[in-house]
Structure 1
């Protein structure tokens, strides 16, 4: 008999979606939370994961979706894993940075070369080892990995070379690796919440922001920043996060189903995100954005010494860069 997990929800906040009809006898119910909306590729990945788990388990394992940030911010959804309000959170690996600095490896610049290298690293032996170490350090179990595609810069001024970054005020997430990246490149990184970025660009508080192209469109950066600089500096990795102890309360069969369906859903998401890139560029050009493709070898060369600033990441940087 499987363990019946909690069904705590924030009042009126849970959005339940499923296209697979589930029998009424579901023995284990898990809630999956994310700030992604159902319309995005990654919102669809969450749905595909839920549908796959339901079908593979014959309805004995059910995943309810709480999307669009209905259970809080990324940090809040992760904190809710410990108390059981959420059972799964879909987010990027680096979101665990506040639990242990090793999670910031996902945000290390020019670590992942392309989609093939991403697959070799995250869906191979290195990824399995990394996720095991993170589980030991954080108490959180990462399952599956999908590539969001590269992060690019939206800028109010043209950037044609590394030298053009001097003094550029760029918004960065609250992760030390991001700050160090742009400082090393000569820019002036400015921590800022995502909700303040648009007005920050409009008012001149910041000159630039970096994110996947899908976020450039979702947040309408093109209305405040004329240029998209194709820096390709980070390939973000989406994953499903469980409380490790609670994950191991699932039966062996249930763990196998979760692992297999997470892999299938994340691989699908990677392909969808990759196929979407060309359309996103055309869409941004249609909104008037001007694309600039600088020589990235200059960026990589200037960032080579950065690993020395992060001794806990340095061995992983070397291991990942050496992977073929």
Structure 2
């Protein structure tokens, strides 16, 4: 029986992979009545004959996350603004691939739009790492102003060079820390075994605080906390609540150490195939949905915190001295990013923060 189960599981995995690859291959190349033409020709013919257009959006995140909600709201607005002529089909929960796969599919035009954090994009667009500068923003309002300003305009150029358009950046708020160790001052981080993403700047940040960062798959975090492999983890509140990490943690520490941006990007190939009116609809929908997604993040915040409080997990807000100490300790990470990316983006980030402070 175990042998049959292994065979069944193996077949299911292979079948799922084949289905995913099939969907990726078909997505942007599916359009009503024009299957023999390439993407641009089909788009042009469809517009001339008045046929409806089907575009495709994907994210790696779960259906109930702000990322997926951002995607679905965008799709709804595009359809409404186009009077139903443009339909955007949405795929969440890694249905058509993980973050790297859907990014590459977007570059190739097989997926029209992708909604994801900047972290997985860094391997394709190194300049996106400017948003990994730690302890950058004193509050979410300043962060959002910066993400809409000159820095955003400069980042658009780097995205464009890689075959995608950066349409907007929403967020899931700040990344926070949960821990079984009480943290109130900088020295409390010393020796803390904390799960972090496989991101060099994030790892350097935690080491700068004296912690012991341990890269680990998100899916393994709960068991890691349960078994004591790690003492702590860091994520935006949404990503803490959904898998119930707080059940294994005594404290939630509002460290606000990194903003957790959520980008809306479009395939340059798909955008080039749209008419000017269709592009306008896409741009307007992305801008409006970005604001909607930010408001959704804010509106969910109190509910998220209430869940944590009711679980018995204590919430700690750090004082200004501790925050300043964390900033000072991690200054070299900014220098490291500057050395790797050049001074332009980091200087722009600093100038924008100073302007809004």
- Contact 1:50 1:64 survives alignment (8 Å): yes
Pick from 103, 112, 122 the counterpart of residue 87 of structure 1: 112
Among 242, 247, 255, the alignment partner of 1:218 is 242
Displacement of 1:26:
4.8
The question of 1:298 aligning with 2:325 is answered: yes
Aligned residue-pair number: 307
Residue number in structure 2 paired with 1:321: 350
Distance 1:259 1:113, change over 3 A: farther
Q: Choose 192-201 or 107-116, whichever is displaced more.
A: 107-116
User: Is 1:309 matched with 2:336?
Assistant: yes
CA deviation vs aligned residue, 1:182-218 (integer Å, no higher than 9, x gap): 1111111111111111111111211111111111111
Take 1:84 and 1:8, find their aligned partners in 2: how far apart are those partners?
Answer: 14
CA–CA distance in 2 between the matches of 1:298 and 1:26? 60
Q: 1:253 aligns with which of 274, 277, 281?
A: 277
- Identify the match of residue 62 of structure 1 among 76, 87, 95: 87
Quick one: which of 70, 82, 86 aligns to 1:45?
A: 70
Q: Provide the C-alpha distance between the structure 2 equivalents of 1:123 and 1:216, rounded to a whole number of angstroms.
A: 27
Distance apart, 1:318 and its partner CA: 2.8
Q: Which runs of 5+ in 2 are unaligned?
A: 1-20, 28-49
CA contact (8 A) 1:8 1:84 kept: no
TM-score normalized by structure 2?
0.80
1:160 CA displacement: 1.4
Matched ranges for 1:198-277 at <5 A: 198-277=222-301
- Separation in structure 1 between the aligned mates of residue 138 and residue 343 of structure 2, nearest angstrom: 17
C-alpha separation in 1, matches of 2:172 and 2:343: 23
8 Å CA contact retained: 1:105, 1:313:
no
Higher share of residues assigned helix: 2
1:313–1:230 Cα change, 3 Å:
farther
Comparing 251-260 with 190-199, greater Cα deviation is found at 251-260
Distance 2:57 2:237 in 1: 25
TM-superposition CA deviations, 1:286-315 (whole Å, max 9, x none): 112111222312111211232222211653
Q: Which has the larger radius of gyration?
A: 2
The answer to whether the Cα contact below 8 Å between 1:141 and 1:242 also exists between their aligned partners in 2 is yes
